[in-house]
Amino acid sequence: MSFALLFSGQGTQHPAMLPWLADDALVRDMCTRLGIDDWRQSLADPGWAERNDNAQTLLTGLALAAWGQLAPLVASPAAVAGYSVGELAAFSAAGVVEPATAAALAPLRAEAMDRCAARVPGGLLALSGLPESRLEQLRVEAGLALAIRNAKDSVILGGPSAALDQAERAARDAGAQCTRLRVHVASHTPWMREAAEQFAQTLADVPFHAPRVVLFSNARDRIRDAAAARTALAAQIATTVRWDECMENVMARQVRCVLELGPGQALARMWNQRHPTVPARACDDFRSAAAIAAWLNSHADR
């Protein structure tokens, strides 16, 4: 079996996500960190679900638990990558940090980012449907940064709220498809530089290991050792997520299928649009871990 494992970012979390996930120690520990009893019930409150500290802690904890429950049923992945905050769980799945360590780091990452956002309120705006040059022109004119690049004509811009409003109006007038993401920080932009520096200081005392499987970073391409992993995990907070390059790097491993682990199907959908000959599915599509394993196994001999 040759498959890639992709960990989702935040913004698409919902109460019915990961319907097969059992209530294990990692899930209970996550609930304790968040001060809640039922994470699905908490996600039903949009205000609670969209808070950056809640979302990062919850999504990291659930991703760690989900992979912990699925991993015994499948072979080791041929490649691993995480989208935005999904890198915490991805690095853990690759053996860089222990699951408990990744879970503990999530609220610290969110806290550092929230401090920056308190000084300059901001967010993220997804744009598509225009030529790359026009998207770049909109970005420059609004004074925003390129937060995430999913494709040449599909990007996410980040920055202060007023600048996002300006860019959204201009983009709609130009005929672009616009979506204001359910986040309230300008992730992966220079406005998060202090957060990245603070998180780097936090990571300095954390035990890191070289990846046990091929691991790709949003900021540093392939991660080959502990030092590069530590640097990349902090750097991506304030630098562009080059997800299009991550997908190309994963495809170069000649995987036979791709599994998205997290809420929604955004990464699987992007993959299928870019590489339709290599099927991608999301864990949210399945009702049991056994069904996910069966789908992965069905591609083992193709």
Tokens encoding 112: 């550092």
Average pLDDT estimate for 221-240? 96
Q: Where in the chain is the domain with CATH 3.40.366.10?
A: 3-118+189-297
Of 182-186, 251-255, 260-264, which gets the smallest average pLDDT? 182-186
Average pLDDT estimate for 97-121? 96
Instruction: Flag whether pLDDT at 1 surpasses 70.
Output: no
Query: Long-range contact list for 159-166, CB < 8 A, 24+ apart?
Result: 159/122, 159/186, 159/189, 159/191, 160/120, 160/121, 160/122, 160/186, 160/191, 161/121, 161/122, 161/123, 163/122, 164/122, 164/123, 164/124, 164/125, 166/141, 166/142
The per-residue pLDDT for 14 is 95
The per-residue pLDDT for 220 is 83
Instruction: Flag whether pLDDT at 301 surpasses 80.
Output: no
The per-residue pLDDT for 130 is 93
pTM comes to 0.95
Q: Where in the chain is the domain with CATH 3.30.70.250?
A: 122-180
Closest CA to 220 of 91, 111, 124: 91
Residue-averaged pLDDT of the chain: 95
How large a percentage of the chain has pLDDT more than 90? Answer: 94
Structure confidence by residue, pLDDT tens digits, 49-78: 999 999 999 999 999 999 999 999 999 999
The per-residue pLDDT for 302 is 55
Tell me the residue length of the chain.
302
Return the CATH class of domain 3-118+189-297.
alpha beta
The per-residue pLDDT for 141 is 96
The per-residue pLDDT for 256 is 95
- DSSP letter at 241 equals B
Architecture of domain 122-180: 2-Layer Sandwich (3.30)
Structure confidence by residue, pLDDT tens digits, 4-26: 999 999 988 999 999 999 999 99
